[in-house]
Amino acid sequence: MAFQIPADYASRPAVVVGAGTLGRRIAVMLASGGVDVRVYDPDAGVRAAAERYIEQTLPGVVASRADANAGNFSGTGDLGEALAGAWLVVEAVPEKLELKKQVFGQLDELAEPDAILASNSSSYASRLFLDHVAHPERVLNTHFYMPPEQNAVDVMSSGRTDRAVLDFMLETLPRFGVHPFEVRRESTGFIFNRIWAAIKREALEVVAEGVSTPQDVDGMFQVNTGASGGPFRLMDKVGLDVVLDIEEHYAAENPNLPEGPRKLLGEYISQGRLGVKSGAGFYDDYPKP
Ligand code: NAD
């Protein structure tokens, strides 16, 4: 049976499950499209921090777009209450496969029959979340980067997603100030994260081979692309341990990747240089934690 698209979505709430770094940012974008947004997180402290973040950020986002208009938002620790009547659920819980499987099982059981269930996972295809899901045709990946600053969204099928759901999301997401791009085949790292991974990898390799330094690579990157920062500065911001985890994930799938980038990251990490969060990484000019 074809999936019934929630055509009346504009008058129904959207839900974000997990109110951490990304969840609260996704909530801001959804609320800026004028729909009411409910944020579910089991941690009351996180919910309160997310509400403060949304309250502070939403007015600026609404003011930056002529078509924007602020919806209401509220936090709750009751999943059933959050899901009642909702047309869209975006999952943004920690990046743990078993947890995601369990959450998608719950969402599939408790959400409205026409609710679309989307995952913000950075590294798992939604195909992997279907073990306890009876209606896989409504499950997909919608991978937000870092809204409201970086507003691209990868939209990827689980392999069993109804085509109408993908088309509906590609058509509807721009209303919320984000730019959807379809990932046309299953891809670890989707579209842009994969390209960015290649840039980071080659930048690290150039330094690992002794061809250049982090400072010179960043300087050249800025001069030639006009970007405000280079890959090493950005890796310091993300955290070198996180960058290494991501690269190891790609290397596990592709044994032909060079080892130099992982070795170089490992050397910095073993000296306690994790980037901004530890006060030093490729650069030293960060406040000491
Ligand atoms: P986070 O740790 O900041 O937030 C996760 C939140 O989920 C926490 O507030 C936690 O209390 C909550 N949570 C835990 N169990 C839950 C449950 N069962 N139900 C509901 N909420 C629960 O994580 P994050 O960085 O926001 O990442 C969330 C997702 O977004 C991950 O899949 C990650 O891969 C993806 N992502 C992260 C980034 C990033 O830069 N941080 C970028 C793009 C995508």
The pLDDT assigned to 288 comes to: 87
The pLDDT assigned to 289 comes to: 82
* CB of 153 closer than 6 angstroms to any ligand 1 atom: no
* CB of 122 closer than 6 angstroms to any ligand 1 atom: yes
DSSP string of 47-61, one letter each residue = HHHHHHHHHHHHHHH
**Pocket mutation for ligand 1, best pick of 117, 119, 120, 242 (most atoms within 8 Å of C-beta):** 120
Average pLDDT on 147-163 reads 97
Query: In whole angstroms, what is the distance from residue 138 CA to residue 158 CA?
Result: 9
The CB-side HSE value for 210 (13 A sphere, CA atoms) comes to 0
For the segment 223-252, what is each residue's pLDDT rounded down to a tens digit? 999 999 999 999 999 899 989 999 999 999
Q: Amino acid identity, residue 122?
A: S
CATH homologous superfamily of 9-183: NAD(P)-binding Rossmann-like Domain (3.40.50.720)
* CB of 21 closer than 6 angstroms to any ligand 1 atom: yes
For the segment 29-69, what is each residue's pLDDT rounded down to a tens digit? 999 999 999 999 999 999 999 999 999 999 999 999 999 99
Instruction: Give domain limits for the chain.
Output: 9-183, 193-278
For the segment 75-134, what is each residue's pLDDT rounded down to a tens digit? 999 999 999 999 999 999 999 999 999 999 999 999 999 999 999 999 899 999 999 999
Query: In whole angstroms, what is the distance from residue 11 CA to residue 280 CA?
Result: 48
pTM listed for this prediction: 0.93
CATH number for region 193-278: 1.10.1040.10
Report the separation in Å between the CA atom of 20 and the middle of ligand 1, taken as the mean of its atom positions: 5
The pLDDT assigned to 1 comes to: 62
